[in-house]
A and B are shown apart, each in its own frame.
Chain A
Amino acid sequence: MALNSKVPQGPIKDKWTNYKDHINLVNPANKRHIDVIVVGTGLAGGSASATLAELGYNVKAFAYQDSPRRAHSIAAQGGINAAKNYQGDGDSTYRLFYDTVKGGDYRSREANVYRLAEVSANIIDQCVAQGVPFARDYGGLLDNRSFGGVLVSRTFYAKGQTGQQLLLGAYSAMNRQIARGKIEMFNRHEMLDVVIVDGKARGIIARNLVTGEIERHSAHAVVIASGGYGNVYFLSTNAMGSNATAAWKIHKKGAFFANPCYTQIHPTCIPRSGDYQSKLTLMSESLRNDGRIWVPKNMDDVLAIREGKKKPTDLSEDERDYYLERRYPAFGNLVPRDVASRAAKERCDAGYGVNATGEAVYLDFASAIERYGKEQAKIQGIENPSKEKITELGEAIVEAKYGNLFQMYEKIVDENPYKTPMMIYPATHYTMGGVWVDYNLMTTVNGLYCIGEANFSDHGANRLGASALMQGLADGYFVLPYTIGDYLSHDIRTGKIPTDSKEFDEAEKSVKDRIDFFINNKGTHSVDYYHKKLGKIMWDKCGMSRNEQGLKEAMAEIKALREDFWKNVKVPGSANEMNPELEKAGRVADFLELGELFAKDALNRNESCGGHFREESVELEGEQKGEAKRNDKDYAYVAAWEYKGEPADAVLHKEELEFKDIELKQRSYK
């Protein structure tokens, strides 16, 4: 099967406008007869549900949490990008498009990214109209900050809780439609399979997580907005419940899975403290606006700090190695995430890590506090301010900007980051890979759509900061509502989809069989035992740096672990009640397959690009020596995998990427 991306013809600037002018529409009276299922209620799923319901479709929305407001989009901290150019610093739709393609290391689809940049400005207008309290300047206009990998200030923010505010905005739009009866909300429900009738997605099988009841739900189209698969690493910044089950189930029913090896390891997270660790906490990238990253220059100081004989504040400026500023003078501490993460790993691998595990670097705000303090002293007309006064004034500014993040850090680590530098280390944060979709956001199954982090389309091999929120809302508010209408226009005479067909019978039976297996398999090991083992394989062999041997080992080890899981996993309780261990078992079973496909994809891609770093593919000489080396001749394609039983047997389909509007060149942040 040849992949057809269905990108419209014509110049890139006009594609989306022309597309919208020529698609089929569904008249309002007919929309009342059409049902759409949306799985997931984060920024993508929540905004899609609200918009589809406003348009007049009957929406059924599903969330495993107790309320749509708790989806993990809520944890996004730093901000959302939009090409508003309010700062007059040279921003434009084209520049946002260019930065995103370049940041993604030239592995995304141009037309999708351009559309994303194009609708970005609407998102801000929309959110302000909904009452999202973005940060403002004293003149009453919106404020911006800068994020990694760009040279303009285009990031809108609401303190360090931008994701929360945007999600509450989408949630409020959903609430309005729930109240009108246009969205039927299924909280504490988990989708466990998709139902395909005559080649079209026509419904899902879901489990009521309170009663354990297995339910059938039908619709004319199904939208998957279930987020990424970062928890395949066990430890990540994802929520405990974040999972890949919906995405993996549709993969097994015919949706191709693209670029699973593209994972974002975020450079600024709070380091692991022990084996009991259940998740990792992000410290927003926005901190790199003001924080400087360093490790000691001399090994003696490293050891003294680890032993507690010296404090980081004891080291003078010339005893510190601000390694990002040293290696990348043009972008400094604001290089993209993949570059910053690898640089931290490089220093820690060389032995310069500053905590007991050797896996931590400093993020230091002392310079920023001093700079802001002097600025404030000047503004307030304080002559010859004392050092203490400067610090006091500076800390107040830093608190206003990042107060909640500093508080979060202090609660977890028990150190005051105003007085001593934060310790940070990279952690799994986001997955750029996901379900393959065409320009319409439709998967390789008719009527089955995938939006937000769950799909693969916009971020290539690396996502820029503040672009996940942008993509989730763009897909849900402004893209899917058009593209799905074009498809549903053929369904106006179909009528209600029955749930008593043999396709529903079969899907329900396979779901029930699997649950029965878990409950009846009186094994020896808990679900977490397997999840932690899987996570360790993934982190060690499919983490920040990968090589052929390690990836082959990973595939074999994951396969063996999966086989052991299906023999020896132990799930207490029964199927007909709230049973969190049973929920986890199903999710980990899917991660145990996805992980192997991940390694297979990483093995296939023998080049370094974005978050995917192959040790075999580095620049050997010149200014870029030691940096990742991309191979456009052999790998400028999307790797879309077709399910064939075992993950190892998945079949590769290539979508060749064409770059007509951006010249392919090496990413340089020097």
Chain B
Amino acid sequence: MNLTLKIWRQKDSKSKGQMVDYKVSDISEHMSFLEMMDVLNEQLVAKGEEPVAFDHDCREGICGMCSMYINGEAHGPDRGVTTCQLHMRMFKDGDTITIEPFRAAAFPVIKDLVVDRTSFDRIQQAGGYISVNTSGNTQDANAIPISKHAADEAMDAATCIGCGACVATCKNSSAMLFVGAKVSQYALLPQGQVEAADRVRNMVAQMDLEGFGNCTNTGACEIECPKGISLENIARMNRELLKASF
């Protein structure tokens, strides 16, 4: 198929960016979206132009590095996938595709489609851990039974890949799905409950400091999340925060 691409180009964090049009042809429907971008970049290199910079690494939907806003949707039109798992069979011959970076005040653009998401790291550093040393001299792994339901729910929350689609898609640029998922994972496990109150307070404070917005329950984040992280996690985080304030 033949496509027109409208892509955000921005030299660096200080320069002004703009949308630029490109044409690509002979795109197979079996290609992944990023393989289509590879075709474009090879084309640009051959012409002596600078290729489009974009973040990507594992290309199997788990590292969370890829981050494109495609036709107005984080990770594009498919559901339950990251950009790297999106396939060209979702598009038609002759389509015009608009490709932008994930946009949020807390995700400044570094170059083209590459954004800085270290604000997520700083939220984790504020308390997204259990304070045990890695000596190996902890108790036996089976010493505390954990109900299968709690373990499964913790796992569901823990599958968050930290890509930031929730932020990019939210009209308030809220990171509450991301933070809620991490708070929930630990809150659901006995090991995490010891310092649960401090954790939720510190992580939420850091989230606010980074400039993420608040949640107004539109639920867009849950729909766009490639890992299906549930809104329930935001509710749980709010309950934990309320609990922590007494």
A contact residues vs B (CB 8 Å cutoff)? 47, 50-51, 54, 65-67, 69-72, 74-75, 84, 86, 119, 122-131, 133-142, 158-159, 161, 164-165, 168, 171-173, 175-176, 178-179, 185, 187, 210, 237, 239-241, 273-274, 276-279, 281-282, 404, 407-408, 411-412, 414, 477-478, 526, 528, 570, 572-573, 577-578, 580-581
When the two chains form their complex, are residues B142 and A142 in contact, meaning their CB atoms are under 8 A apart?
yes
- B131 to chain A: which residues have CB within 8 Å? 176
Contact pattern, B 126-166, Cβ under 8 Å of A = 1, otherwise 0: 10111111111111111001111001101100110110000
A276–B34 CA distance with the chains assembled, in angstroms: 10
Instruction: Give the distance to chain A from B198, nearest Cβ to Cβ, in Å.
Output: 12
When the two chains form their complex, are residues A578 and B110 in contact, meaning their CB atoms are under 8 A apart?
yes
A241–B66 CA distance with the chains assembled, in angstroms: 13
When the two chains form their complex, are residues A276 and B139 in contact, meaning their CB atoms are under 8 A apart?
no
B104 within 8 A of A: no
The answer to whether residues A119 and B136 also contact, given A131-B185, A168-B158, A274-B31 and a CB cut-off of 8 A, is yes
B80 within 8 A of A: yes
The answer to whether residues A278 and B55 also contact, given A131-B185, A407-B80 and a CB cut-off of 8 A, is no
A64–B154 CA distance with the chains assembled, in angstroms: 29
When the two chains form their complex, are residues A578 and B63 in contact, meaning their CB atoms are under 8 A apart?
no
The answer to whether residues A128 and B134 also contact, given A172-B124, A276-B28, A572-B48 and a CB cut-off of 8 A, is no
Instruction: Give the distance to chain A from B58, nearest Cβ to Cβ, in Å.
Output: 5
A468–B85 CA distance with the chains assembled, in angstroms: 25
A581–B42 CA distance with the chains assembled, in angstroms: 10
- A274 to chain B: which residues have CB within 8 Å? 28, 30-31
- Count contacts on B: residues with CB < 8 A to the other chain: 79
B118 within 8 A of A: yes
The answer to whether residues A70 and B45 also contact, given A124-B141, A168-B158, A240-B59 and a CB cut-off of 8 A, is no
Which A residue's beta carbon lies closest to that of B61?
Answer: A408
Which B residue's beta carbon lies closest to that of A139?
Answer: B145
A1–B136 CA distance with the chains assembled, in angstroms: 37
B53 within 8 A of A: yes
When the two chains form their complex, are residues A140 and B146 in contact, meaning their CB atoms are under 8 A apart?
yes
Q: Can you list 29 A-B contacts with CB-CB less than 8 angstroms, sorted by A residue number?
A: A47-B134, A54-B134, A66-B65, A66-B116, A67-B162, A70-B58, A70-B64, A123-B136, A124-B141, A129-B130, A129-B132, A130-B134, A133-B152, A136-B146, A140-B146, A140-B147, A161-B159, A164-B159, A168-B158, A187-B121, A274-B28, A278-B32, A281-B60, A412-B32, A477-B134, A528-B38, A572-B48, A578-B53, A581-B45
- B159 to chain A: which residues have CB within 8 Å? 159, 161, 164, 404
When the two chains form their complex, are residues B46 and A241 in contact, meaning their CB atoms are under 8 A apart?
no
A71–B65 CA distance with the chains assembled, in angstroms: 10
A517–B124 CA distance with the chains assembled, in angstroms: 40
- B89 to chain A: which residues have CB within 8 Å? 414
**Contacts A133-B151, A276-B39 supplied; 6 other A-B pairs, CB < 8 Å:** A67-B118, A70-B65, A138-B148, A140-B145, A173-B129, A240-B57
When the two chains form their complex, are residues B158 and A165 in contact, meaning their CB atoms are under 8 A apart?
yes
A295–B12 CA distance with the chains assembled, in angstroms: 53
B218 within 8 A of A: no
B contact residues vs A (CB 8 Å cutoff)? 11-12, 28, 30-32, 34-35, 38-39, 42, 44-46, 48-51, 53, 55-65, 78, 80-81, 85, 87, 89, 110-111, 114, 116-118, 120-121, 124-126, 128-142, 145-148, 151-152, 154-155, 158-159, 161-162, 185-186, 189, 191-192
The answer to whether residues A133 and B154 also contact, given A161-B159, A408-B85 and a CB cut-off of 8 A, is yes
- A577 to chain B: which residues have CB within 8 Å? 11-12, 111
When the two chains form their complex, are residues B130 and A130 in contact, meaning their CB atoms are under 8 A apart?
yes
A135–B146 CA distance with the chains assembled, in angstroms: 10
A-B contacts, CB under 8 A, total: 218
- B191 to chain A: which residues have CB within 8 Å? 128-131
- A478 to chain B: which residues have CB within 8 Å? 136
When the two chains form their complex, are residues A570 and B45 in contact, meaning their CB atoms are under 8 A apart?
yes
When the two chains form their complex, are residues A126 and B35 in contact, meaning their CB atoms are under 8 A apart?
no
When the two chains form their complex, are residues A131 and B85 in contact, meaning their CB atoms are under 8 A apart?
no
Which B residue's beta carbon lies closest to that of A185?
Answer: B121
A179–B63 CA distance with the chains assembled, in angstroms: 23
Which A residue's beta carbon lies closest to that of B133?
Answer: A54
A578–B113 CA distance with the chains assembled, in angstroms: 12
A573–B233 CA distance with the chains assembled, in angstroms: 44
Instruction: Give the distance to chain A from B158, nearest Cβ to Cβ, in Å.
Output: 5
When the two chains form their complex, are residues B63 and A75 in contact, meaning their CB atoms are under 8 A apart?
yes
Which B residue's beta carbon lies closest to that of A69?
Answer: B162
- A412 to chain B: which residues have CB within 8 Å? 32, 85, 87
Instruction: Give the distance to chain B from A233, nearest Cβ to Cβ, in Å.
Output: 15
When the two chains form their complex, are residues A580 and B53 in contact, meaning their CB atoms are under 8 A apart?
yes
A417–B148 CA distance with the chains assembled, in angstroms: 27
A135–B150 CA distance with the chains assembled, in angstroms: 10
A581–B81 CA distance with the chains assembled, in angstroms: 26
- B56 to chain A: which residues have CB within 8 Å? 240
The answer to whether residues A187 and B53 also contact, given A51-B134, A179-B126 and a CB cut-off of 8 A, is no
When the two chains form their complex, are residues A276 and B35 in contact, meaning their CB atoms are under 8 A apart?
yes
- B28 to chain A: which residues have CB within 8 Å? 273-274, 276
* A171 interface neighbour in B55, B61, B124, B192, Cβ under 8 Å: B124
The answer to whether residues A126 and B59 also contact, given A133-B154, A176-B129, A578-B12 and a CB cut-off of 8 A, is no
A176–B120 CA distance with the chains assembled, in angstroms: 14
- B158 to chain A: which residues have CB within 8 Å? 133, 158, 165, 168
Instruction: Give the distance to chain A from B143, nearest Cβ to Cβ, in Å.
Output: 9
Instruction: Give the distance to chain B from A595, nearest Cβ to Cβ, in Å.
Output: 22
Instruction: Give the distance to chain B from A65, nearest Cβ to Cβ, in Å.
Output: 6
Which A residue's beta carbon lies closest to that of B116?
Answer: A66
Instruction: Give the distance to chain A from B137, nearest Cβ to Cβ, in Å.
Output: 8
When the two chains form their complex, are residues B121 and A140 in contact, meaning their CB atoms are under 8 A apart?
no
Instruction: Give the distance to chain A from B102, nearest Cβ to Cβ, in Å.
Output: 12
A10–B65 CA distance with the chains assembled, in angstroms: 48
* B51 interface neighbour in A51, A185, A408, A581, Cβ under 8 Å: A581
When the two chains form their complex, are residues B147 and A572 in contact, meaning their CB atoms are under 8 A apart?
no
- A185 to chain B: which residues have CB within 8 Å? 121
- A158 to chain B: which residues have CB within 8 Å? 155, 158
The answer to whether residues A66 and B138 also contact, given A408-B61, A572-B48 and a CB cut-off of 8 A, is no
A581–B54 CA distance with the chains assembled, in angstroms: 11
A144–B208 CA distance with the chains assembled, in angstroms: 41
A278–B139 CA distance with the chains assembled, in angstroms: 44
Instruction: Give the distance to chain A from B111, nearest Cβ to Cβ, in Å.
Output: 5
The answer to whether residues A67 and B120 also contact, given A239-B59, A572-B45, A572-B51 and a CB cut-off of 8 A, is yes
The answer to whether residues A131 and B148 also contact, given A161-B159, A414-B87 and a CB cut-off of 8 A, is no
- A172 to chain B: which residues have CB within 8 Å? 124, 128-130
Which A residue's beta carbon lies closest to that of B30?
Answer: A273
* B121 interface neighbour in A67, A71, A122, Cβ under 8 Å: A67
The answer to whether residues A125 and B130 also contact, given A136-B148, A477-B136 and a CB cut-off of 8 A, is no
- B62 to chain A: which residues have CB within 8 Å? 74-75, 161, 164
A502–B152 CA distance with the chains assembled, in angstroms: 56
When the two chains form their complex, are residues B60 and A122 in contact, meaning their CB atoms are under 8 A apart?
no
Which B residue's beta carbon lies closest to that of A577?
Answer: B12
When the two chains form their complex, are residues B125 and A175 in contact, meaning their CB atoms are under 8 A apart?
yes
- B148 to chain A: which residues have CB within 8 Å? 136-138, 140
The answer to whether residues A84 and B57 also contact, given A51-B134, A130-B129, A172-B128 and a CB cut-off of 8 A, is no
When the two chains form their complex, are residues A278 and B63 in contact, meaning their CB atoms are under 8 A apart?
no
- A129 to chain B: which residues have CB within 8 Å? 130, 132, 138-139, 191
Instruction: Give the distance to chain A from B80, nearest Cβ to Cβ, in Å.
Output: 7
When the two chains form their complex, are residues B192 and A178 in contact, meaning their CB atoms are under 8 A apart?
no
A196–B55 CA distance with the chains assembled, in angstroms: 33
- B121 to chain A: which residues have CB within 8 Å? 67, 69, 175, 178, 185, 187
Instruction: Give the distance to chain B from A189, nearest Cβ to Cβ, in Å.
Output: 13
The 10 A-B residue pairs whose C-beta atoms are closest, nearest first, are A140-B145, A122-B136, A172-B129, A129-B138, A133-B155, A128-B141, A133-B154, A179-B125, A239-B57, A136-B151
- B189 to chain A: which residues have CB within 8 Å? 131, 133
